[in-house]
Chains A and B, each alone.
Chain A
């Protein structure tokens, strides 16, 4: 949801996720919120079937293994 759509709703929803943002700040996001919306809109249009990242999780080595 773009912060420009509804600043109060944006702020309330962020607060539900323990991310505090005042209504004034939500209103101020303005133009950058539109840039963000456009970026995810572009990403959603990409057919990524079969392109799941394989290396998003890397096991942590113990000190013994590192040495």
Chain B
């Protein structure tokens, strides 16, 4: 609509800022809002488009950025007191790409401190509220990104995912979130949590929007040592390919075990049935080894996080929140051999996954095993970790393997909270993952429902 002149970037940015003013006091999704800058950028975009210099689908679109991502001249805090006043001198590569595509940055989004946590709780910046029920968690760590998109404050946002931090909040807030293949999207200029597991990914209302963002975000970047030169295709090309001819794997182990909430299992099974009824072949896949994935995720993550934070946490332990300080410090005496063994186990795990998936195009599973607990239940206290530790059981598996993995809404609980379904593909095959997600969204309207605990948009 913007490209055709039917919608003005100025109006879109004003609508976004108005929605933020209306909801931010209640939801706490943003750490900074750059209203003046956004208005100026919108004016420039409007003039460019009027002058027939349309840059593509991201031109004039308001974008929210998780506050791990550098924007020159603005502080990157990681949601921590430790980095208060840490002003970036250059844009992260993903920001450079979005800026070149004409995107308009609205501000920095709240998160779990240094992205080290899964519930979304942050005692320094304040907890982000779920727009479906403000007493419940959003999940994290990209808590602000999920809430901002779900509530209509911004149409799209960026998150990061080390154990599930794009997909878990996407699931609990009823939006789409894609963790691309490891190396597909540059991490340069993004604060590390665990460099061999960190991914940057889009969080949007629909799968199609994830594909449009991937067309801008993906590509080789020499500034990121893990960046891949794997060829990039147009991620929207296969979106309308439908389900016929695809083979869907459904793990018979772990992802549907007793621990998984019955309502979640029922919704995901119903979604799989719908996908089968519309042309895909569905097969059960035994994966008796897959329960090791969560341990490997933590076993790799923790020593890398200690390495990232060693200097800062030794100098300023008091500036960290108690919960995140404890998580990092718990890795202080992990022997080197345990980290090396975790990386070896990861190689073993990737081999098992590749073998299992050789006969299917994608896997479909629940995104998380439990319904959203309340914020009060998840707030850690002395000697008590708080609820929600099961959240990354499924998502963390695919950070270990680096596969593309996408969460979309597939139903609601009796309490009215969104349920997420996770579609996971072969490395560098985001296109098939997005094709399945888009096909499912065309068959259902789960992704179109507005959150119930906030006023509707005008």
Contact = CB atoms under 8 A, between A and B. Distances in A.
Interface of A: 1, 3, 10, 13-14, 17-22, 25-26, 28-33, 35-36, 38-40, 42-44, 46-48, 51-54, 56, 58, 60-61, 66
A46 B295 CA distance: 11
A40 B338 contact: yes
Contacts of A10: 332-333
B317 A35 contact: no
Interface string B266-299: 0000000000000000000000000010111011
B334 A53 contact: no
Given A40-B299, A46-B345, A32 B330 contact: yes
29 contacts: A3-B330, A10-B332, A14-B333, A17-B333, A18-B314, A19-B329, A19-B332, A20-B317, A21-B332, A25-B329, A28-B322, A28-B382, A29-B326, A31-B384, A32-B326, A35-B385, A36-B302, A36-B330, A39-B295, A39-B302, A40-B338, A40-B341, A43-B338, A51-B345, A53-B343, A53-B346, A56-B343, A58-B225, A60-B225
B121 to A, nearest CB: 14
A13 B332 CA distance: 9
Contacts of A22: 317
Contact of B347 (A13, A32, A44, A48): A48
Contact of A53 (B322, B326, B347): B347
Contact of B314 (A3, A19, A35, A66): A19
Contacts, number: 110
B126 interface: no
B389 A35 contact: yes
Contact of A29 (B295, B329, B351, B384): B329
Contact of B298 (A35, A48, A58): A35
B81 interface: no
B314 A29 contact: no
Interface residues of B, number: 40
B140 to A, nearest CB: 16
B298 A36 contact: yes
A36 B334 contact: yes
A31 B385 contact: yes
A35 B384 CA distance: 12
A46 B338 contact: no
A19 B347 contact: no
4 closest Cβ contacts across the A-B interface? A42-B295, A14-B332, A51-B348, A51-B347
B325 interface: yes
A25 B383 contact: no
B56 interface: no
A21 B295 contact: no
A28 B385 CA distance: 10
B53 interface: no
Given A17-B332, A43-B295, A66-B222, A48 B327 contact: no
B200 interface: no
A22 B292 CA distance: 32
B53 to A, nearest CB: 28
